[in-house]
């Protein structure tokens, strides 16, 4: 029997194609194999959030809330207590629209978790005054047109209340001439201390005028 030179070692073209088809089918068979031969699946995170009870006083009224431990103080005030005067601006602590007064100090409520403040006293813009009986700073903002769209105004006013408290307590700022001496009220101090509150409308000069009047500073 003679051997065809196109089929070396006696391997025919048909046999070669059959062998290739069998080899190509191996990955498909492996993919269809039972899952017992695969790596175990990673455990899934539980769907239910972790809840915790927290109690604090807001605008003189005590509240007990059951909250997701990831809830910010801002969301607790807005979504759970419906105190929507406190605004959510950037939600990253960069604009100051969410400023409230916590235990006498101003704070960005979007940057802190509600469950961290058990027993705290919180004052929002609603707790400072009402249309019938406004806080002096609220009245001054109205008088001096310290706002345009008004979105940042609650945070501006709460921040100004906290800022004047810091001045009264003798806390210096970056522009205080003598860090060991009690800082004096001035427009330079006001602008520095209020720099964390952004007004996209640009009513800064009117805001400073309103604060200056309440502080008894002649402008």
Walk me through the domains of the chain, giving residue ranges and CATH numbers. Answer: 49-127 (3.10.20.30), 129-219 (1.10.150.120)
Using the predicted structure, report yes or no on whether residue 12 has a pLDDT greater than 80.
no
Q: Which residues contact 49 (CB under 8 A, 6 or more apart)?
A: 68, 69, 70
Average pLDDT, the chain: 87
From residue 182, give the alpha-carbon distance in Å to each of 165, 179, 194.
13, 8, 18
Share of the chain above pLDDT 70, in %: 79
pLDDT at residue 107 is higher than 50: yes
Quick check: 22 pLDDT over 90?
Answer: no
Render pLDDT for 61-74 as a digit per residue (tens, 0 to 9): 999 999 999 999 99
**Exposure pattern of 161-170 as b/e (b: 16+ CB <10 Å)?**
bbbbebbeee
């Amino acid at each position: 029997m003679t051997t065809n030179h196109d089929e070396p070692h006696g391997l025919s073209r048909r046999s070669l194609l059959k062998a290739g088809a069998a080899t190509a089918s191996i990955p498909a068979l492996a993919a269809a194999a039972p899952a017992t031969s695969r790596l175990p699946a990673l455990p899934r995170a539980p769907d239910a959030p972790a809840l915790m009870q927290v109690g604090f006083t807001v605008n003189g009224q005590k509240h007990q809330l059951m909250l997701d431990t990831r809830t910010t103080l801002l969301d607790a005030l807005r979504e759970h207590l419906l105190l929507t005067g406190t605004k959510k601006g950037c939600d990253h602590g960069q604009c100051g629209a969410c400023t409230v007064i916590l235990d006498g100090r101003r704070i960005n409520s979007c940057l802190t978790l509600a469950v961290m403040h058990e027993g705290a006293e919180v004052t929002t813009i609603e707790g400072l005054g009402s249309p019938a009986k406004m806080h002096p700073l609220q009245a001054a903002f109205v008088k001096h047109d310290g706002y345009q769209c008004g979105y940042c105004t609650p945070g501006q006013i709460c921040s100004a209340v906290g800022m004047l408290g810091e001045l009264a307590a003798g806390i210096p700022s970056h522009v205080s001439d003598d860090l060991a001496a009690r800082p004096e009220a001035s427009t330079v101090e006001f602008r520095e201390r209020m720099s964390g509150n952004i007004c996209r409308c640009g009513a800064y000069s009117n805001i400073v005028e309103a604060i200056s009047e309440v502080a008894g500073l002649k402008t």
